[in-house]
Amino acid sequence: MSVYLDRYAWQDELFPEFMPPNDLELIVVIPSFKEPDLIGALTSLADCGYPSEKFLVLIILNESESASEDIRKANEQTMRELQGFKCDFTLLASQKKLPVKKAGVGLARKIGMDEAVRLFNKSGKDGAIICYDADCRCDENYLIEIQKAYSNPEVNSGIVFYEHQLHRENHSAIVEYELYLRYYIDALRFAGFPNAHQTLGSCITVRKSMYEKVGGMNTRKAGEDFYFLNKTIPHGGFVEINSTTIRPSDRISDRVPFGTGKAVNDIIGSSAEYSVYHPNIFEDLRLFFRKVDSFWEENDWKIPKTMKTFIGDDWEKELSDLKSQVSSKEQFIKRFFHWFDAFKILKYVHFCRDEFYQNVELEEALEWLRNKHFFLKGTKDSLLIQLRYLDRLYS
């Protein structure tokens, strides 16, 4: 019996009578809320041509208990479309009314991923759970490349390479937003953070056993992807699956307080230039991370003013506590980055933005990035193409 399912999972089993195929390898989980083109996302999966007995798709049609009539009707229409959709693979769909306080993509993902654990347990497999969004598209080798990654028993979790769909209507806005996403992660890599990875929800994959080990998906209304990966990656066995591509939508959305849809909407609605975190933040972070070895050796504890102010007067005590828990430099470095993880970095970045370095226009940040990667040049569209290529190649 699974301790996770007993104690931490969504307790309502969705398909108690369903018996999954014995050869089940992959389960694709799709949260769907007022989605106009879920069939298009499913057709993209069908075009992968992956053996139908080795994967299934699990859809969580969700809405708040206080949802408007328009939302209820939209979800009912989606369910009718699903019932008429013809495909070779197994397609399971469940409609859920979620508690008002927790209704959102985090809880919907969790419900679907928890059910995937149950289905894998029934089949006796420790397969991969794949997060996919209802407005995504994917390359034809999407499923096979994910399975190739998880055929290695050392792989516990991973992300699929992404490129936003670029439609004419929101083109410039989504280009700027994706440039920001890539700028942020590339700046963290420049700084020396070993766990700098993209954290889009539709990119996430995780082995069933690892999903249980980290306590499952959280129920945040937004940012659930970031927090899930932040607790998963440090366990090791994390990979970037760059041999295929997931293509999230570029559409406007006001369904969550932040994320792609909200960012695109804000960029389109603003007359000001799009601004991002100041490069000096990452320069200071680089100085800090380059001293990790010397922290272990105790011969140089000086750190940038921004970091000293952020950590506070207990900095040396924090360091001593970390060192007391390990017996080697390798163990110390690993524990150090468990302590100064992606969430702590984000808090530091926001602290620096508010107290030291105001945001700069995207153009200025990209110019800094050009100086770090001197071969980058051209318009924003050209820069995005180049960064996509480099991120796929070197991440």
Q: What is the pLDDT of residue 233?
A: 94
Q: State the pLDDT at residue 258.
A: 47
Instruction: Say if CB 209 and CB 307 are below 8 A apart.
Output: no
Residue where the block lists tokens 């980055």: 337
What is the DSSP secondary structure assignment for residue 53, as one 8-state letter?
G
CATH topology of domain 3-272: Spore Coat Polysaccharide Biosynthesis Protein SpsA; Chain A (3.90.550)
Reading the block at residue 109, the tokens are: 């993902």
Average pLDDT per run of 10 along the chain, which is 395 residues long? Answer: 88 93 96 92 96 96 91 92 92 93 93 97 96 96 98 98 86 90 95 94 96 94 90 95 93 52 54 85 96 80 89 82 89 92 96 97 92 78 91 83
What predicted TM-score, i.e. pTM, was given to this entire model? 0.92
Tokens of 86: 């013809």
Domain boundaries, the chain: 3-272, 279-355
Q: How far apart are CA 17 and CA 51, in angstroms?
A: 23
Q: Which two tokens stand for residue 55?
A: 């994967």
Joined together, the tokens standing for residue 339 give 């302590």
CA dist 299 and 207 (Å) reads 42
Q: What is the pLDDT of residue 394?
A: 77
The amino acid at residue 70 is D
- HSE-CB at 393 with a 13 A cutoff on CA atoms is 6
